[in-house]
Amino acid sequence: MTDREEKKDVYAEALTLHRTYHGKLAVQATVPLNTREDLGRAYTPGVAAVCRELERDPSLAYTYTIKGNTVAVVTDGSAVLGFGNIGGTAAIPVMEGKAALFKRFAGIDAFPICFAEQSDDIVKQIRNLAPVFGGINLEDIAAPRCFEIEEELQDLNIPVMHDDQHGTAIVVLAALKNACTATGKKVEDLRIVVIGAGAAGFAITRLLRCIGYESRVCQPIRELLVCDREGIIHRNRPGLYSNKYKFIIGEETNPAGRTGSIADALNGADVCIGVSGPGVVTGEMIRSMNSDPIVFAMANPVPEILPDEAVRAGAAVVGTGRSDFPNQINNVLVFPGFFRGALDARAARVTDEMKLAAATALASMVRHPSLDRILPSVLNRGVARAVADAVRKAAIASGVALIVTEEKVKRGGT
């Protein structure tokens, strides 16, 4: 069977699955509703007592309602997978899938919220939805709007995270830690090139700069360059001031002011992290890198360079976003456990310390990293528990945990 035939079979099977089950989610009551007494307690008149309690103290929603174990998976459909702007309705299957993964791996009740319009009112709309949710997972929203939305929602007193940014950054950092172990490289000696300055590229870059938190050093990485379609981003590049987020990249990376193309950036580099598009990296570029380079080519479904070509060019470790190649670098290793830990701590927001803790916990799930195994399987349920525990502790340590109770921890299974 050819790769094309296999994909056709997967697509046909997916259509049949979704048609048969009418999606992947359902709502299930957690209390008995078999007698008049059951109805009286669960609904009217008994529910009035609960409403009065919440009116008196809104924080009791975590005690009396689903809020403490519920996440909204929110999108406007503007940047869905590899399809781009396909709109809210077409995005429903992806958000449903994400919600199913939340439940499967972390016991979290998540629900897809797909907006019909891509309007400036999205922040207000999310605010109006927030009372019922303990966390907001922003998903598949195009840059730069995704940055602005996340920033404007940080005062909700619940964790709000754009997973395409931070989930990707966390799993990349975990993979990088183990790739260094497998190749004998040291993080502080690395010359790293990030290709792509969108949501994922921006978050990866900023989290890589945070590595020094662990050793109380500002930036241990030897060199960090970021490239977009125009080449290496540097602080003196014309027009940089028109994009706030690329301006930040220009200020926080490339202190030597290097200029040039992607090929120029990769010459002499140790690590290539691609979050851009298909085929932008060539074998010649890989050959120009330092010995035993690490290549994460994560564009989906077609990576920046195919693994076989990268290995032939000398790459020691190659990771992609795909499940049909070794070293899959996938957000599902992060977001269920991350939100589990944040909910268990009742974190008011997401901190860099929580992200770093998640990356360290994820990396530790591979006891003996090798060139073709730098991350655990996405089906390993122990991953979510380890990440959740690390995130919960980091939230407490960084002062953003509002309430931590053993009951909540036990309910989440972490």
Instruction: Tell me the one-letter amino acid at 9.
Output: D
Work out whether strand 231-232 and strand 223-228 pair parallel, antiparallel, or are unpaired.
Answer: antiparallel
Please, what's the largest Cα pairwise distance for the chain? 75
Per-residue model confidence (pLDDT) at position 405 = 47
For domain 164-391, the CATH superfamily is NAD(P)-binding Rossmann-like Domain (3.40.50.720)
Ranges of H-type helices in 253-400? 262-266, 283-287, 307-312, 335-344, 352-364, 382-397
Per-residue model confidence (pLDDT) at position 8 = 63
Per-residue model confidence (pLDDT) at position 216 = 47
Q: Of 24, 98, 355, 408, which is the active-site residue?
A: 98
Per-residue confidence in pLDDT tens, the chain, 414 aa: 444 445 568 889 999 999 999 999 999 999 999 999 999 999 999 999 999 999 999 999 999 999 999 999 999 999 998 788 999 999 999 999 999 999 999 999 999 999 999 988 999 999 999 999 999 999 999 999 999 999 999 999 999 999 999 999 999 999 999 999 999 999 889 999 999 999 999 999 999 988 765 544 445 688 999 999 999 999 999 888 788 999 999 999 999 999 999 999 999 999 999 999 999 999 999 999 999 999 999 998 899 999 999 999 999 999 999 988 999 999 999 999 999 999 999 999 999 999 999 999 999 999 999 999 999 999 998 999 999 999 999 999 999 998 654 444 444 444
Instruction: Tell me the one-letter amino acid at 324.
Output: D
Contact indicator for 397, 347 with CB cutoff of 8 Å: no
pTM: 0.92
CA 106 to CA 122: how far, in whole Å?
Answer: 27
For residue 297, give the H/E element and its range: strand 294-297
Per-residue model confidence (pLDDT) at position 406 = 42
Residue whose structure tokens are 């693994």: 307
CA 129 to CA 148: how far, in whole Å?
Answer: 18
Q: Of 11, 43, 213, 241, which is the active-site residue?
A: 43
User: If you ran DSSP here, which 8-state letter would residue 139 be given?
Assistant: -
Task: Please classify residue 119 by burial: count the beta carbons closer than 10 Å to its beta carbon, then call 0-12 exposed, 13-18 middle and 19+ buried.
Answer: exposed
- Token pair, residue 410, equals 């036990």
Cβ neighbours of 260 (radius 10 Å): 13
Per-residue model confidence (pLDDT) at position 160 = 98
**CATH number assigned to the domain covering 24-158:** 3.40.50.10380
Cis peptide preceding 278, ω within 30 of 0: no
Q: Is 7 a catalytic residue?
A: no
- Token pair, residue 302, equals 């077609």
Instruction: Tell me the one-letter amino acid at 112.
Output: P
Per-residue model confidence (pLDDT) at position 401 = 95
Q: Is 43 a catalytic residue?
A: yes
Cβ neighbours of 87 (radius 10 Å): 18
Residues, the chain? 414
Q: Judge if 24-158 and 164-391 fold alike in CATH terms.
A: yes
Contact indicator for 77, 89 with CB cutoff of 8 Å: yes
Question: Domain limits of the chain?
Answer: 24-158, 164-391
